[in-house]
Amino acid sequence: MASISLRNHRDSHPMDLHRLLRLQNQVIIGLAACLAILVLTTVVLIQHLPSPNGNHARFGEQTKDVPLIQQPQRIVVKEKCTSFGCPIRPVEFSQLGRAASQTPAIAVSSHILITHKNNKQAENLDRVVLIPSFKYDNNDGSLQFSTTDPRDDFFAGVFDGHNVNGDEIAQFASDEIPSRIASKMKERFDAQSNNFNVIKDIIKETFLEVDEEVPGGTGGGTTASIMVRIGKKLFMAGVGDSTSFIVVYTPPRKFDQRKASENEEYINSERNIRMELDLELNLQGKISIHHQNKRHKPHVKEERLRIESMGGRIYLPRENPLDSKIIRQKEDGYIGIGVSRCIGNHEWTSAGVIPDPDIFSLNLIKFWSENDIPTSGGSSGGKKVFVVLGGDGLFDARREEYVASHLAYGLFEDPNHLVELGKKLIKMAVPLKRDFYQPDISVLAKVIEL
């Protein structure tokens, strides 16, 4: 009956039916357009929402996604990038283990950065920075260099501030040194000419410039220990008493699961006197340490001769020369400084404290050949190489081999526990008695390949 009525309606009012169909089509088109606008608006709003940790970039700033740790569920955070690379900095030790969104890319398969604040001051005086793909010649400002490939060029640095404004000076040095090295290299270095002596000159000039321009200039300073890889050359430079070296790791022929289980017990254990006697880390491979830097302490012969020739005085305890200090008299007694070279502390310049770095360069091709290390295209089970940089808070408490063993285990033998190994290393360097002074402790390790 309804169909008959409709047919009659069509016959009697054809124009009205055409208008009705045209109106229906217009409504459908309008609804579809509104739906498309709604979807597009939602997508745009989602893209511009800030990240949970608040590290979204301001308008015009460049950002790049950086993974935290290479596990099945990858965590991504934003890192602000510069024209020469994307710096990665560690978070405070106490922040590790909290919500994943608050933990930056401090540990992946090729590097780890850990820092721990002292228990006497409000600020951590250490600064640590890694630029895992350092590009001095990035002409177009693109972000195609933010990978963590161990074959890439890189910049790594540990800066241990001291005295009143040491944190400000360490921050200044950690920002300015890589920036100025990149700028000067872009102007003056030609990789085709292989004149790598230019880079040594640039590094020294940069240290001296940063020293002259540090905020404050007196009342504080910082050590500076850096490594820069350019092609097949590695440059190591530093002032102060921080420590840096290269490690060659040789894997075992076969892994022992029993030892692996014991190591996991060690990692998860709480530190106490019994544990230090009964439990220890058993690295199944072997390590060898190469090209350790000079620590600039007043008791070292070369440093002592310069200081005394400039009229400086040195306090040298017989029982522990590492506690040597340059001293000068004030109205109420003596004050001292425990490093013979640093950036800042200009009030000590007349006593022989200088900012001139020791600089060493290494031909990586030759190093690989001399130590029988396979290239990245060779056997995956062969020797591995990584570099280590750390402040005196770590290396005054633990020997270089001890630190290198923990890092090698986390990087190569048990990558799933890399962060826990870093935390364990810090805990093993902190004094057992909580009322004792706990210094700032920082360490950086970076795997390198040819």
Give tens-digit pLDDT for 30-43: 666 666 666 555 54
Q: Are 87 and 204 found together in one domain?
A: yes
Domain containing 101: what range?
Answer: 67-253+282-296+339-448
Q: CB within 8 A of 387, min separation 6: which ones?
A: 156, 227, 234, 244, 245, 246, 247, 445, 446, 448
Q: Are 350 and 433 found together in one domain?
A: yes
Number of structural domains the chain divides into:
2
Using the predicted structure, report yes or no on whether residue 16 has a pLDDT greater than 70: no
Would you state the structure tokens that stand for residue 239, as one six-digit string? 């002032």
pLDDT in tens, 232-284: 999 999 999 999 999 999 999 999 989 989 999 999 888 876 666 568 899 99
Which pLDDT does position 190 carry in this prediction?
86
Q: CB within 8 A of 210, min separation 6: which ones?
A: 172, 173, 176, 177, 180, 224, 343, 355
Q: Are 172 and 30 found together in one domain?
A: no
Instruction: Give the mean model confidence (pLDDT) for residues 20-37.
Output: 64
Q: Are 175 and 227 found together in one domain?
A: yes
Using the predicted structure, report yes or no on whether residue 211 has a pLDDT greater than 70: yes
Which has more confidence, 442 or 217? 442
Closest CA to 374 of 365, 383, 387: 383
Q: Binning pLDDT at 50, 70 and 90, where does residue 438 land?
A: confident
Q: Binning pLDDT at 50, 70 and 90, where does residue 100 land?
A: very low
Closest CA to 314 of 344, 343, 337: 337
Using the predicted structure, report yes or no on whether residue 79 has a pLDDT greater than 60: no
Q: Are 26 and 76 found together in one domain?
A: no
Tell me, yes or no, whether 421 lies in a domain.
yes
Which pLDDT does position 331 carry in this prediction?
79
Q: Binning pLDDT at 50, 70 and 90, where does residue 131 land?
A: very high
Residues in the chain: 450
- Give the number of other Cβ atoms within 10 Å of residue 8's Cβ: 10
Parallel, antiparallel, or unpaired for β 233-239 and 224-230? antiparallel
Lowest mean pLDDT among 93-97, 213-217, 431-435: 93-97
Q: Are 153 and 27 found together in one domain?
A: no
Q: Binning pLDDT at 50, 70 and 90, where does residue 332 land?
A: confident
Which has more confidence, 297 or 47? 297
Q: Are 343 and 397 found together in one domain?
A: yes
Q: Are 30 and 78 found together in one domain?
A: no
Per-residue exposure over 260-296, b if at least 16 CB sit within 10 Å of its own CB, e if not: eeebeebbeeeeeeeeeeebebebbbebeeeeebebb
Percentage of the chain modeled with pLDDT above 90? 56
Instruction: Give the mean model confidence (pLDDT) for residues 37-58.
Output: 45
Using the predicted structure, report yes or no on whether residue 345 has a pLDDT greater than 90: yes
Percentage of the chain modeled with pLDDT above 70? 76
Q: Averaging pLDDT over each range in 373-387, 396-410, 431-445, which range is the top one? A: 396-410
Instruction: Give the mean model confidence (pLDDT) for residues 125-136.
Output: 94
Q: Are 28 and 169 found together in one domain?
A: no
Q: Are 96 and 38 found together in one domain?
A: no
Q: Are 83 and 177 found together in one domain?
A: yes
Quote the crossing angle between the two packed helices 14-48 and 2-12, to the nearest 10°.
Answer: 100
Q: Binning pLDDT at 50, 70 and 90, where does residue 195 land?
A: confident
